Amino acid sequence: MFAFQRFVKLFEAADSPLDPSARIVMPLASCSLAFKVALASLLSLSSLPVQAEWQPMQEPAVWQSRRGELLPGDGWIFMEALDTPALKAAEYIRAPKAVDGAVEVEAGLLIQRAGQDQWRQRVLPMRANCSKGQLEQRRADGSWTVYPGRDGTVVKVRWICALR
């Protein structure tokens, strides 16, 4: 779902996304005019708004059962899960609310590490910062901090932002 790797440590934090204003330097002096026009048209497509191309899959019955036992309340939306020999984890959101260009949610995490019998759960205040394409977590003082992304975070942020 989402990037709960500070708590789950599923994935390594990715470097900051590339600056979208960065340009690729190419020797275009010898290129034909048609090629330059085609290249300029292709590059301009990157500035068009992107629709949310990702959506969560149907919640598997095993996770539905665990969620019902472990996460408080109703309205949870299953985002994704991981089931490996070392770790079992699932991520959820609920109560999306548009606030100042972002979508605030309650984010739920279910986790069980290898060798542990008990499941742990956390509910965190998070938001999808729609203009920046990143997830943020609310600190105890009420400020927001960037939550490290991983592959797929940007498209999930777009999907969450489409909920508003």
**Which pLDDT belongs to residue 44?**
39
More confident residue, 33 or 155: 155
What's the pLDDT tens digit per position in 41-56?
444 333 344 454 889 9
Asked if 123 and 72 touch (Cβ cutoff 8 Å), the reply is yes
Residue 151 above 70 pLDDT? yes
75-to-78, 86, 88, 153 alpha-carbon distances in Å: 10, 29, 22, 22
CA atoms of 154 and 68, how far apart (whole Å): 28
Residue 134 above 60 pLDDT? yes
**Which pLDDT belongs to residue 63?**
97
Mean pLDDT (the chain) is 78
Where along the chain do its domains lie?
Answer: 52-161
What's the pLDDT tens digit per position in 3-43?
443 434 333 333 334 444 444 443 444 555 554 544 444 44
- Element (DSSP H or E) covering residue 47: none
